[in-house]
């Protein structure tokens, strides 16, 4: 067997068709065709140039995957509970759903729901949960280009040369950071626009240039804005809305 063949599920994930886990489910259900032939054996390897097609039933399953936008308050952790703090997913209840929507929260919406792009416990703002591996990959994948926008209240002095460093030139964990857009929006608040999300990245960047963060709020992921969503409330990503 040629060395350049790839596992079908891996290739589907690389192309953004679905996550590897979702690909395995579709393959087992006989909903994936390669070069016109149905493939239903897990672990099947195919050419990197293979034509991959999802059956209508698989596309329908994808359209039913839920994505939820939450306004996370300070004091909640994004994922697993720690140090007696509640995970933000606990806020996703019927009582906390905000606005008008064609959908109401059902138990099926919570199955496999995972954070895509964390916020630390001391930060607030837009936190996104999704069942859709395609969306998660766009936000947290290694080659992700989706912008994340933050409003950051800071204390301390920031000369122009250090502002330029925030925009480009800093390293974290031994690796250079991607260029960022950083600008003043008033006398004590900066706007950061990043395309990556290392752990506590903005806080660590500010520490490196002598700033202390007094408040950090994420207000946008891609085309999705926090808008008027109240703190502690959530809503579904609606048909017609997209990340990019």
- Active-site residue numbers? 120
Dihedral, CA of residue 231, residue 127, residue 112 and residue 76, to nearest 10: -60
Contact 106, 165 (CB under 8 A): no
Q: Which two tokens stand for residue 33?
A: 């065709």
* CB burial string 175-203: b at 16+ within 10 A, e below: eebeebebeeeeeeebebebeebeebbbb
* Residues 6+ positions from 236 with CB-CB distance below 8 Å: 66, 67, 68, 69, 101, 103
Contact 13, 20 (CB under 8 A): yes
């Amino acid at each position: 067997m040629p060395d350049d063949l790839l596992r079908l599920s891996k290739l589907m994930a690389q192309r953004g068709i679905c996550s590897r886990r979702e690909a395995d489910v579709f393959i087992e259900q006989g909903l994936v065709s390669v070069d016109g032939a149905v493939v239903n054996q897990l672990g099947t390897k195919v050419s990197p140039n293979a034509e991959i097609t999802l059956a209508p039933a698989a596309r329908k399953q994808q359209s039913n995957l839920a994505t939820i936008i939450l306004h996370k308050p300070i004091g909640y952790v994004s994922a697993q509970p720690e140090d007696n703090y509640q995970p933000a997913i606990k806020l996703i209840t019927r009582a906390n759903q905000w606005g008008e929507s064609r959908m109401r929260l059902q138990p099926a919406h919570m199955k496999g729901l995972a954070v895509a792009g964390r916020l630390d416990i001391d930060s607030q703002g837009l936190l996104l949960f999704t069942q859709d591996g395609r969306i998660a990959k766009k936000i947290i994948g290694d080659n992700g280009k989706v912008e994340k926008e933050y409003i950051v209240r800071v204390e301390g002095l920031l000369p122009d040369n250090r502002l330029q460093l925030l925009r480009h030139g800093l390293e974290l964990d031994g690796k250079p950071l991607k260029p960022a857009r950083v600008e003043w929006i008033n006398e004590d608040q900066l706007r950061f626009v990043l395309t990556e999300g290392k752990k506590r990245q903005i806080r660590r960047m500010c520490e490196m240039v002598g700033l202390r963060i007094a408040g950090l709020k994420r207000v946008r992921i891609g085309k999705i804005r926090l808008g008027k969503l109240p703190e502690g409330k959530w809503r579904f990503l609606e048909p017609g809305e997209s990340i990019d």
